[in-house]
Amino acid sequence: MNGSLIQSPQVPQTTNSVSIIDTATHTVTATIPVGMSPFGEAVSPDGSKIYVANTQSNSVSVIDTATKTVTATIVFGSSPSGPSGVAFSTDGTKVYVANQFSNIVSVIDAATNAVTAAIPVGDLPIAFGVFIQPAKSEPKFAGIPGTPNCYGQSVAALARQYGGLNAAAAVLGYSSVTELQNAIMEYCGG
């Protein structure tokens, strides 16, 4: 190997920070140090806080968006849990953290930053975007459950309101008109 230079592949360096970017100018306006290997973040619904999952630090950093500083660090015990995704509840009161190594989703009270629950989930959860959503509420239709014309009244009201059952099914989140019709029958008691 005389005269040869052997180089090891370079491992990308992580900065262990979060950069705030002005979307109008495409410039970095702040760089905020957080824990090791930040992987996933979520902005509170009111825009006042950012929660950042720090996979290697076994923690979540809480950033105040006004001061651009870390105001709290939530640590998930001594064994590695590997926070790898963050999401807020729609009302902003809870923060959910997918923990890749412990196979749980931690629930954090956003007012106190206290971990209030640990929900067991499948192997190696990693999450991006919204991964916790409220349960679908029971539908309410125009007819009165238990009356003879409940189904007909409900179908007529939906067709009128949405311009047809296909449109009603799409707007209300049903995969087909048949699924919507089955929901109406269940609501009406039939």
Residues 89 and 164 in one domain: no
Residues 97 and 148 in one domain: no
In a domain, 10, yes or no: no
Residues 27 and 83 in one domain: yes
Q: 187 with 154: CB under 8 angstroms?
A: yes
Domain boundary pick from 93, 120, 147: 120
Average pLDDT over the chain reads 83
CA atoms within 13 A on the CB side of 28: 6
* pLDDT 10s digits, 133-155: 555 566 678 888 888 899 999 99
User: 153 exposed, middle or buried (CB, 10 Å; 0-12, 13-18, 19+)?
Assistant: middle
Residues 60 and 111 in one domain: yes
Residues 139 and 116 in one domain: no
pLDDT on residue 73: 96
Task: Reduce the DSSP state of residue 155 to 3 states and report it.
Answer: helix
Whether pTM exceeds 0.75: no
pLDDT on residue 120: 86
Parts of the chain with a pLDDT under 50: 1-11
Residues 26 and 111 in one domain: yes
The count of structural domains within the chain is 2
In a domain, 1, yes or no: no
Residues 51 and 111 in one domain: yes
pLDDT on residue 129: 61
pLDDT on residue 171: 79
In a domain, 11, yes or no: no
Domain assignment of residue 161, given as a range: 135-190
In a domain, 6, yes or no: no
Residue closest to 71 by CA, chosen among 41, 113, 100: 113
Residues 63 and 28 in one domain: yes
Residues 60 and 140 in one domain: no
Residues 184 and 105 in one domain: no
Tell me the angle at which helices 165-172 and 150-162 cross, rounded to the nearest 10 degrees.
Answer: 80
DSSP state of 179: H
Please give the Cα distance from 51 to 41 (Å, whole number): 5
Please give the Cα distance from 174 to 164 (Å, whole number): 14
